[in-house]
Amino acid sequence: MKKGINQAMKKSPVFLSLFATSLLLFAGCENNAGKNIVVSPNIIVGGATSGSNSGSTSGSNSSNTSSVTASPAPSLPDSSAVKKQIEQVIHDNANAINTDDYDALFASLHPSSPINAEMQAARSAGFNNFGTRQEILSVDVTSVSEASSTAKVRRKVTNSLGTVTEEAIYTLKKNDQRWGIMTVAVTSQSAG
């Protein structure tokens, strides 16, 4: 059983959270010997197998079962789908730069991004050629919340001065249902 629980914990953060919550609840009960804790109708922690979920925090039924109703976990979007959306925005941004496409560039930026304001000013001043080419080598989405995310990006940048490989931290924010780049901070550069 221990092996099965360990495998489930590695595969499912929701299972890990429920398992940890169950253990904490069980350990916190007074006189919990021989009692179950019902975390939900489908999850029971303890030794007895009968009982009902009354929604209370103390056992009042005759089966020696303590019942606890856990709040449902908030529904978050599938993390792999969100990561793919974030990666796509970063690739779209590089493609916009590579093709000197202001409209595509603005679509990849968050409306309140300082980069957006700078590029609007450059466009108004008549700069039509970015003079830079980017190749995204890797994207590692390091954190995601409902409204913001961070990604570590390795990219190859070529301009009139030559080619460098950079590591940069991209910060993205959600605008309605779409991710947009807020900031890009280069953390290291190396030749080639």
Mean pLDDT of the chain: 74
* Backbone conformation region of residue 51, classed left if phi is above 0, alpha if psi is from -120 to 50, else beta: left
Confidence label for 45 from pLDDT (cuts 50, 70 and 90): very low
The yes-or-no verdict on residue 94 having pLDDT over 50 is yes
Residue 65 pLDDT more than 60? no
Q: Are 183 and 114 in contact (CB under 8 A)?
A: yes
For the segment 144-188, what is each residue's pLDDT rounded down to a tens digit? 999 999 999 999 999 999 999 999 999 999 998 899 999 999 999
Residues 6+ apart with CB under 8 A from 139: 86, 87, 90, 91, 151, 152, 153
- Tokens describing residue 109: 């930026």
Bridge partner list, 134? 157
- What is this structure's pTM? 0.60
Structural domains of the chain ordered from first start? 2-67 (no CATH), 79-191 (3.10.450.50)
**pLDDT confidence of 77, banded at 50, 70, 90?**
low
Cα–Cα distance, 181 to 94 (Å, whole number): 11
Q: What is the pLDDT of residue 192?
A: 79
